[in-house]
Each structure stands twice: as structure tokens, then as C-alpha cells.
Amino acid sequence: MRELANSGDEFRGVLYAGLMLTPSGIRTLEFNARFGDPEAQVVLPRLDSDFVTLALAAAKGTLAGLPDPTWSPRAAVGVVVASANYPDDALVKSGFPIHGLAEMPRGVQIFHAATKFEPGRGLVTDGGRVVTSVALGDTVAEAREKALAGARQVRFQGAFFRSDIAVEAV
């Protein structure tokens, strides 16, 4: 790091801040120099600007010459569909056929994380966090219901997901 700081080179890339809103205010969970998943999977669908243009400008060092990115005001919710025994990777079994991806409700995006294609079998599980069901809505509740509807469609042996994601505190 010190060599980079003294080399005259500038950092070019992504600085991702993982933040959580608590009753006591905003708390920092982590900083990453990459897009995290499933976090980026609920942030990027809200981006109205062209992502490729932004990424290319960042890589070339010309990002400052572009207008600020624009974002959808809509809420986004992501629900991870995981394999049995996740997060204990030592106990997670893989290779189970995945069903239901072709029947996603309108407006649901599926992000693959631990899937692979096997000839003759199709898509199968390949780890703990298998897919994330992401949806936008005019409210958090609407986005949550759509994302949960997508998660319910994903089926494989041992599949589970949390149903308490994005439950708003009263």
C-alpha cells in the first residue's frame, strides 16, 4: 500500500461501503475495494446511468468528466436462496438440480452466485449462497413481496431463504 501511495499512481476502482441503519444511526460494517454480493445486487438495479460507461470512465481515469450517476428512487430488496447448512461451507452439499428459474414473476431479477451448468443435467447448485432474488418496488414492502415471490420459485434439494429480510420496524 505504501508503495502505491508513494508511486504517484491514483486509486482506480470501486470503494464499497457496507452500511447499516440502526436506531442509533448509521453504522459502518465494512469497506471493500470491489463490489460485494449480495449487496451490489440490490444497489446496481437502481442505477439509471449506464454502468458500462461509468466503469470504463473509472478505469480510464476520466470519471470526473461525466455527469453524476442517476439513481432510481425505487426501493430494492434482495433475498438469498441458500443451500442447506449454509453458512457452514463444510456441511454444504452441491450438485442439486435447480428448478423454477424460468417461472420468475415479472420484475424479479435472479443473480447467480453458486450455480454451474452440467451437460445433461442443466443448472445445479455449487455452494452455499446459490442465487439472489432481487426486485424493485415503489415501497420497501412492495419490493420485499416481489423478491420473496421470486425466492419461493427457486427450488432445489435443501433450498432455504430468510423470510424476515426487509421487514420494516414499526
Q: How many CA atoms lie within 13 A of 110 on its CB side?
A: 23
Q: Under a CB-based contact definition with an 8 Å cutoff, are residues 47 and 109 in contact?
A: no
- β partners of residue 80: 132
Report, as ranges of residue numbers, the positions in the chain whose pLDDT lies below 50: 1-6, 169-170
Class at the top of the CATH hierarchy for domain 75-153: alpha beta
Q: Give the model's pLDDT for residue 7.
A: 52
The cell 434439494 sits on which residue? 157
Q: Give the model's pLDDT for residue 117.
A: 97
CA 135, 33, 82, 117 dihedral sign is positive
Task: Give the residue range(s) of CATH 3.90.600.10 domains in the chain.
Answer: 75-153
C-alpha cell at 74: 425505487
C-alpha cell at 32: 471493500
Q: Give the model's pLDDT for residue 84.
A: 97
